[in-house]
Structure 1
Amino acid sequence: MAAEPQTTDHRKRPRRRGDALIAAILHATVQELEERGYAALTMEGVAERARASKASLYRRWPTRAELVMDAVYSVIPDPGELPDTGELRGDLISVLTRTARLLDGPAGQALRGLMAEVLPSPERMGQVRAHAQGMGRQMMEEVTRRAVHRGEISPEALAPRRMEVGQALLRNHFLFHHEPISDEMVEEIVDEVLLPLFNTSPVNSAT
């Protein structure tokens, strides 16, 4: 006698709560972005893939944009885990290369889709900008802090706006040129823009 087929109804499975449920939903969102892209991503599709209820998604993320932002930034490495190459140039190349690889994957698809979706809303546009700038700034702050500790640059060189320059150049190229960011471009940004910038004090650079 043939065995009865196993049910796949998520309601029959052990219920997940808290961090486990959130992690499953964010992971499912990233997978949906990889396979379907931002435009085709739906809350229903994410819920089905995560074997969760739509209600559990909407309780935490009222909109698709908010869910996608959290999902994308859940896969970005912690700034404290960035490799230490022993020099500022190597660290800057490492940071910008990581950003370039992220933009070439689901994070890039999400960023393009989010920009188009939230552009009419200044409030939501501000949320996307805060997410994007915040993580990039943290990575730059980490590698420049190391450089100060090694004596490569002066603490006075770490003006807040300078922390955004490298990441902003990458995002600008990605959004407006629609092509992968090459290793050569990363090195050009580091050698021609960031290293001269961080080796100049704010007072001197303004004169």
Structure 2
Amino acid sequence: MPEPKSRRHGAELESAILDAAWAELVEVGYAKLTMEGVAARAGTSKPVVYRRWPGRPELVLAAWRRRVPDGGDLPDTGALRSDLLALLHRFVHRFQDTPRDVLAGLMSETFRDPEVFALLLKQIAATRQWPAVETVVRKAVERGEIPPVQITPRVARVPLDLIRAEAIFHHREIDEKTITEIVDDVLLPLLRGLAHTESPGEE
């Protein structure tokens, strides 16, 4: 007869639930994931799960946030183009490590629930693409590759917004060609255009 599991509390219990939620996502997908299934896999009860997360979207977002790395040190290849390519590869890696239907399922939830939409936006903002892009561009300015340019949050969101659009709305694989086109056809022209506009002496 197996020994009963020791009673878990706090961070240990939360970790077990989030691990179970991710395992359920990988196995059954977002659409079929249930709070009951997560509770059973985690060896706890449904009320315990609901005390921490009010619904499926909140639980999935928490599990996703825990699994997605912050990216570590920023690329520093010595050139703006190769730094941007390396940065976009990191963004794409985050999508590839996420079950395909998770983001699509969350997006559909946002149309029904403004609170879920707010949570999703907050999580996306926490992926640190703004300071990452800003730092990469600042290094290029310091090397003299481009004139000084101010990176606004909207500009910094462009690469990740394009990747999300390709993956979620158009259901396309983000391959090397797509990453290169985003950098060469969109990001570099945008940054050079902004730098030209803001150069000293321009009227």
Shorter-chain TM range is: 0.7 to 0.9
2:153 corresponds in structure 1 to 160
SS at structure 2 position matched to 1:161: helix
Indicate the percent of aligned positions where both proteins have the same amino acid. 40
Alignment of 1:20-169 (within 5 A): 20-132=12-124, 134-136=125-127, 138-149=128-139, 151=142, 152-153=145-146, 156-169=149-162
Change (3 A) 1:202 1:149: closer
Which residue is equivalent to 2:174? 181
Distance (whole Å) between structure 1 residues aligned to residue 8 and residue 196 of structure 2: 55
Note if contact 2:147-2:195 (Cα within 8 Å) is conserved in structure 1. Answer: no
Secondary structure at the counterpart of residue 199 of structure 1 = helix
Q: Deviations over 1:155-187 (max 9, x none)?
A: 643112111111111111112222311111011
Partners of 1:23 and 1:89 lie apart in 2 by 39
Find the counterpart in structure 2 of residue 195 from structure 1.
188
TM-score where L is the length of structure 1: 0.81
SS in 1 for 2:126: helix
Partners in 1 of 2:115 and 2:73 — Cα distance?
32
TM-superposed deviation, 1:28: 1.6
Distance 1:114 1:13, change over 3 A: same
Deviation, 1:154, is: 5.5
Contact 1:91–1:143, Cα closer than 8 Å, also in 2: no
Question: SS where residue 32 of structure 2 aligns?
Answer: coil
Q: What is the aligned-residue RMSD (CA, Å)? A: 2.5
Q: TM-score, normalised by structure 2?
A: 0.82
Please tell me whether the aligned partners of residues 47 and 53 of structure 1 are also in contact (alpha carbons under 8 angstroms): yes
| Structure 1 position 112, deviation (Å) | 0.5
The residue aligned with 1:17 is 9
Tell me the alpha carbon deviations over residues 43-90 of structure 1, each in whole angstroms, 9 at most, x when there is no partner.
Answer: 111112222332221111001000101111111112444454444333
Structure 2 unmatched ranges of 5 or more: none
Q: Determine the C-alpha separation between the residues in 1 that align with 2:130 and 2:79.
A: 13
Q: Is the 8 A contact 1:102 1:108 kept in 2?
A: no
Deviation of 1:107 after TM superposition, in Å, equals 4.9
